[in-house]
Amino acid sequence: MFNLKYKDDFYKLILSVFIFGIILIFLTVVAVMLYYSYPAIIRYGLPFLWTKEWNPPKEIFGAATFIAGTFMVTFLALIFAVPLSLGIGIFLEEYCPAFLRGFFTIIIEILAGIPSVVFGVWGVLTIVPWLRDSIEPFFEKHFSYIPFLKVEENIGYGILAASFVVTFMILPIIASITKDSLASVPKIIKDGAFATGATKLDVIRDVSLPHAYKGIYGGIVLGFGRAVGETIAVVLLIGNQAVIPKSLFGVGYTISAVLANTFTFAVISHIYASSEVELALILLLVSLIINLLGRNVLKRVIGGKFSRSQFGGG
């Protein structure tokens, strides 16, 4: 009996060491980023965030183009991926015939596990020629008067190509989490709703989704996290030009892409390296803020909205 108790405590101790290890690693990452970016933070201050020029030989460093590119790719990918993956998740959980569900689920999980460089290469081979030869000429001909859809350079590479491929990368993540979240809604609640005469659509909209929203939101946050930091696929597709894109078809640059492309060279100069570490710090903070604050904000928004609905929930 004592022996068992002792073992249990020992086990607990080891586990708590592990969890403190995690915290330590996290703090080390933050500390190192802060330490190395300090010279750039002091030298360029807050204007670093809205300065558009990035000129290493002249030691002028501003993050605006990279921040703009990062958020454009991320939000475009989310705009494409969220409705699609919600649809896929809902279909799989609520409508899909049982004998196909397993098959589709496996396919989605395989998609989620494909290394991003493979997606990148696939994008160069398929998305780029498709955009260059079909989509861009079409938009150039019919929609060139819409500034945001103007085709400046008909090359296929750019913000849109990168967003498409990132969409395919985050789609399986959000879809499979949506499906799992919907599956975790207790059957008894759904049955209760059906008993009041609700249709299947009513139940999905007013019972299942409100009940599963935390999980779905978690999936979207995960998708955001992958999209915002996605590197190699973006490097291959975005066109790597430090400009703020004026159009969806324009080229751009993201924080992760510029780090991957130039950091090994940047170490040659103190302030150059420091500025690039500051970019990494921005990326780190963005993921942190999304994960910490975003959760609460969305809980209030969606929770409030659905709590007024007929079946409660949230």
Binding site for another protein (CB under 8 A): 53-58, 60, 124, 128-129, 132, 153-158, 235-236, 239-242, 251, 253, 257, 261-269
CA gap 129, 122 in Å, rounded: 11
String of DSSP letters for 80-100: HHHHHHHHHHHIIIIIS-HHH
Min separation Cβ 69 and another protein, Å: 12
Q: State which residue, 169 or 257, has the beta carbon closest to another protein.
A: 257
Long-range contacts of 221-225 (CB under 8 A, 24+ apart): 221/290, 221/291, 221/294, 221/295, 222/170, 222/173, 222/174, 222/177, 223/77, 223/78, 223/81, 223/82, 223/85, 223/170, 223/171, 223/173, 223/174, 224/74, 224/78, 224/170, 224/290, 225/287, 225/290, 225/291
User: In angstroms, what is the minimal distance from the CB of 113 to another protein?
Assistant: 18
Smallest distance, Å, CB 154 to another protein? Answer: 8
Nearer to another protein (CB atom), residue 216 or residue 242 = 242
Nearer to another protein, 116 or 176 (CB): 116
Shortest Å distance, C-beta 156 to another protein: 8
Nearer residue to another protein within complex by CB, 159 or 185: 159
Name the residue nearer to another protein (CB basis): 73 or 174: 73
Least separation in angstroms between residue 157's CB and another protein is 6
